[in-house]
Structure 1
Amino acid sequence: MTKEKLRSLGVAIRKVRREAKWSGREVARRSGVPQATVSRVENGQRVDDVNTVERVIAALPISSDAAGPLLAKVRDAYSEVENRRADAGVSLVRDTARRWEKIAITVREFQSGMVPRGLRSPEYAQAADVSPSSIVDRFGDTGCGFGFVVTEGALRTWPADGAVMPDQLDRVARAGELPNVRLGVVPWSVPLPVMLPHGFSVFDDEAVVVETFTAQMTITEPDSVAAYVDAYAQLEAVAVTGDEAAELLARIRRDFEELTH
């Protein structure tokens, strides 16, 4: 029922915007809400803060009387969301990521603090004392797609044994050359469109695995997963890919060689 109410709310907001001949970008500018979030609201997807939806409505060129029914729709749709358990759709079961890595058709990962889990070499994982991944064994399966977005800062962050970094960067570069792997690197000079306190992996738009310092958290609640899918798309949009990514990786590799020799 909540999804139907959110969808009805989104349709109503889109109708007002189009009647005013405004673009989603204009609504975003006037409301101070990211354009991607405006799109999520219009597409009937839940956002984390109900005040965000109210800001979108307040920015629309309509009278307070006309805004009233829209705000009533917001209260109706989000009241059910607020009554749910806070931990619904969240699991701390161990090794969930490994299970998803074996069956997912589409995998997307973002990291801002270290090399993405799916691209870590055994030597890097040991030096950094983090979990490696077996997903590299599936890179040859052309029926699957793999996406990785990593910040330049993460690739320049090295564990105690910095000697592992040149080979690790070579491993990342080779993965980026595979036909079913899309690699993006966000240069340090490019501002992030969305600030995330942690890295994450999205599996088939059905689950998100967040790797914390002491545990793995798996999120399956649909709206939360959709939020991560949206965040990944925004991050990928500002990343360099192809030859630009390869050149950046080569430059970082040269810097490490100078540091470790």
Structure 2
Amino acid sequence: MTEEDDLPSLGRRLREIREECGLSGRELARRACVVQSTVSRIENGRRIDDPMTVEQVVAALPVNANAAASLRARIRGAYADRRDRRIDAGVSLLGDAARRWERGAATVREFQSAMVPRALRSSEYANAAGASPSPLVDRIGDARCDFGFVVTEGALRTWPADGSMMPEQLDRVARACEMANVRLAVVPWSVPLPVVPPHGFAVFDDEAVVVETFTAQMTITEPDAVATYVDAYARLEAVAVTGEEAAELLARIRRDFEELAH
């Protein structure tokens, strides 16, 4: 692979062209029909899930046909298959690997479609669900760590055991969202998902992903795989409601649990 074919140099060149054309990252994202974080990842030399998305961004740049063709060739070079890569490279099933990231990461982004995110679970909820405790619970109040959560409405409406802990659990989520270092995005049941992850996941510093199973935690550090999860999180966040809309949805779900209890 030549220097021109690597992702950082491709990203730098795309940023240069965008700036020469007088476009902001937000405007380029709008023209390319992608989220702004995707443009940012490409320009910062991070690998994303589908190279066709990079070509989509190139197509949105006001450049001539020859320049566009040259950029597409560089994309193909940068995203060429690495056939010597082991399928299990960058994957660990050791619990200590996950806990190290949970204790030390400065940025945590978690998606859940079946349960409340680990950092927001009360002990009653975790015990009823049979979930293992996470160091993230103790870090949620640490202003040095930035938290982002995307959770489906279905996950917030799914309860373990008799569900008696759910009103307090939802209150706990609402209180956490008042913290300056916490952002909550809820995907309403009525919104189609742009991508459907087969499981929940947490991204740490854009460098590692932790996936929780019934029997273990899998920590993924292979860059291509991590980039896939980062891109999936951004796409899910883009269709979710936040701020007052998320707070209203939380309150509505809590009222439904109160009515269910009676």
TM-score class normalised by the smaller sequence = 0.7 to 0.9
- Aligned match of 2:208: 207
For the residue of structure 2 that corresponds to 1:101, the secondary structure is helix
What CA deviation, in whole Å up to 9, does each residue of 1:35-70 have, x standing for no partner?
Answer: 76566445533234456656777898865x776654
Match of residue 238 from structure 1? 239
Q: Deviations over 1:115-142 (max 9, x none)?
A: 1111111221122222232322223322
Q: How does 1:97-246 map to 2 (within 5 A)?
A: 97-246=98-247
Q: Which amino acid aligns with 2:178?
A: E
Q: So what's the TM-score if we normalise by structure 2?
A: 0.78
The range that moved more, 102-111 or 39-48, is 39-48
RMSD: 3.4
1:7-18 maps to which residues of 2 (within 5 A)?
7-10=8-11
Question: Paired residue for 1:248?
Answer: 249
SS at 1:195's partner residue? coil
Change (3 A) 1:140 1:67: closer
TM score, norm. by length of structure 1: 0.78
Given that 2:35 and 2:235 are in contact with CA atoms closer than 8 Å, whether structure 1 keeps it comes out as: no
Q: SS in structure 1 opposite 2:240? A: coil
CA distance, structure 1, for counterparts of residue 139 and residue 161 of structure 2: 29
Q: Distance in 1 between matches of 2:134 and 2:2?
A: 37
Change (3 A) 1:38 1:184: closer
Mapped contact 1:110–1:201 kept (Cα < 8 A): yes
Per-residue CA deviation, residues 221-252 of structure 1 (Å, 9 max, x unaligned), is 23433333333333334333333322221211
Structure 2 SS opposite 1:162? coil
- Partner Cα distance (1:125, 1:2) in 2: 50
Deviations 1:53-101 (A, max 9, x none): 56777898865x7766545434433336343222222212124333322
Tell me the SS of whatever aligns to 1:248.
helix
Task: Provide the rounded CA distance (Å) in 2 between the counterparts of 1:164 and 1:122.
Answer: 10
How far is 1:209 from its partner? 0.7
The secondary structure found in structure 2 opposite 1:177 is coil
User: What is the rounded CA distance, in whole Å, between the counterparts of 1:141 and 1:104 in structure 2?
Assistant: 11
**2: CA distance, partners of 1:208 / 1:3:** 28
Q: Cα distance, 1:161 vs. partner?
A: 2.0
Whichever residue aligns with residue 129 of structure 1, its letter is G
What amino acid maps onto 2:103 in structure 1?
Answer: K
Structure 1, residues 167-212: CA drift from partner, whole Å, max 9, x if none? 2112111211223222222222233343322211122222111113
Distance 2:245 2:76 in 1: 47
Q: Provide the rounded CA distance (Å) in 1 between the counterparts of 2:206 and 2:80.
A: 25
Q: Whole-Å Cα distance in 1 between the matches of residues 14 and 228 of structure 2?
A: 20
Assess, with a 3 A threshold, how the Cα gap between structure 1 residues 77 and 220 changes in structure 2: closer, same or farther.
same
Give 1:238's aligned amino acid: V
Task: Name the SS for the 2:110 alignment partner.
Answer: strand
Q: Percent of pairs identical after alignment?
A: 70
Change (3 A) 1:21 1:193: farther
Counterpart residue type for residue 153 of structure 2? E
Gaps of 5+ in 1: none
CA contact (8 A) 2:37 2:234 kept: no
Distance 1:252 1:173 in 2: 12
CA distance in structure 1 between the aligned counterparts of 2:234 and 2:50, rounded to whole angstroms: 20
